[in-house]
Structure 1
Amino acid sequence: MADAGSPGDGRRSGRRAAPDGARTTDLDPGPGAVYDVVANDPDGDLVDRSGVAPEDVAHISELMAALGELRATEKRIAEASRRYMQLNETDMMALHYLIVCTNRDVVATPGGLAKHLDISSASTTKMLDRLERAGHVTREPHPTDRRALAVRITPGTHLAAREGIGRQHARRFHAAARLSRRERDVVIRFLRDMTREIAPREDDRPVDDPGPG
């Protein structure tokens, strides 16, 4: 059985020691630089990589960097859209929900919005008050339920959102279409598996919990 190395000597994790005098003052530019597996966990304290070949660790780092680049691009698009629309993230999520309801001929309600956004009824009312004052949504009697209101996105806001962030995000379709069905199945399985892996668990320590002293 090969020696996996001691926890601190770098062999277990595949950590590469920098030559004398080889230190640099900054990381390479771009989001990928901070997603290198070994750079984030040099001693293998977070993930035991003893059974993973160094070339596979490097390949996984490349995958993590690609995910980071995608998230960074989506963040830039979302921030630009929010600045243009002068709305916050929750507002934009609400408008997206209303657009989908419109496209599917579904009557949106404040209760449905609250559930989708995972916010309280009071917060939903305040948000809709703000969006209505800005001319982004309208509220009117529900066509079939007298106890409810129907919430609709205004045509102007619908067009602005569709031609802005909507058209940019729609380009993702082309990347997915270039894959075969088998390749898409692999991507779907990977993304769902990663979602399960990083989802909070009951035994997870809260991020602000320093742990045992």
Structure 2
Amino acid sequence: MNTRSGSGSGNSYAPDEQPDGPAAVLKALRDYREAEVATRRSTRDSTGMGETDLIALRYLLRAQAAGEQVGPKDLSRVLQITTASTTTLIDRLVGSGHVRRDPHPTDRRSLVVVPTVAVDSEVRTALGAQNSKMLAVAEELSADEARIVISFLRRMGEAVSGPGAAQ
């Protein structure tokens, strides 16, 4: 018999208890999220950058690899922050040597934000090993397993962000 301890919310289990299938899935998902948060905290500590800075740099590196130009408005949209916050972010990243502002190649009135060569190496060092390990785990999935996991994670995303989701 499985009895949940705690508030009855399904979030707390006795240490030696084996929850049923759905509860075990949700617990594994929570455990993963906790591990990911701890890893991100460690990455922020080791690089001296905040979460938004790292997200911005990853976006800039992907855009650069795709041959895309990124302006401040693009960063504001992707990061969902105000233009004032974006200016502060860019100033901070320019000051730390992670990005530079260049003239837009076709619009003299605009600027583009470009990651420096050093940042590519720094971000790869900070995130590369973790990403490689995660990719190796994902590569172990069969095509059918991958489809199931993708479907599950998309539906979970919709469940937590869709209408009626907790605020």
* TM-score w.r.t. length of structure 1: 0.68
List structure 1 runs of 4+ shifted beyond 3 angstroms.
38-41, 203-206
The reply on whether 1:42 has 2:4 as its aligned counterpart is no
Higher Rg: 1
Instruction: Say if 2:47 and 2:126, in contact at 8 Å, map to a contact too.
Output: no
Distance across 1 between alignment mates of 2:147 and 2:117: 37
Instruction: Say if 2:160 and 2:166, in contact at 8 Å, map to a contact too.
Output: no
With over 3 angstroms needed to count, the CA separation of the structure-2 counterparts of 1:183 and 1:131, relative to structure 1, is same
Structure-1 residue corresponding to 2:153: 191
Letter in 2 for 1:66: A
Deviation at 1:173, TM superposition (A): 1.3
With over 3 angstroms needed to count, the CA separation of the structure-2 counterparts of 1:40 and 1:188, relative to structure 1, is farther
Q: 1:82 aligns with which of 41, 44, 49?
A: 44
RMSD: 2.3
Structure-2 residue corresponding to 1:99: 61
Deviation at 1:170, TM superposition (A): 3.0
With over 3 angstroms needed to count, the CA separation of the structure-2 counterparts of 1:41 and 1:186, relative to structure 1, is farther
Deviation per residue, 1:30-60 (Å, 9 max, x gap): xxxxxxxx3465288xxxxxxxxxx9x6122
Aligned length: 161
Deviation per residue, 1:71-98 (Å, 9 max, x gap): 1221122111111211111111101101
With over 3 angstroms needed to count, the CA separation of the structure-2 counterparts of 1:88 and 1:161, relative to structure 1, is same
Q: Unaligned 5+ residue runs, structure 2? A: 11-17
Percent of residue pairs bearing the same amino acid type: 32
* TM-score w.r.t. length of structure 2: 0.85
Deviation at 1:68, TM superposition (A): 1.8
Which has the larger helix fraction? Answer: 2
Deviation at 1:141, TM superposition (A): 0.1
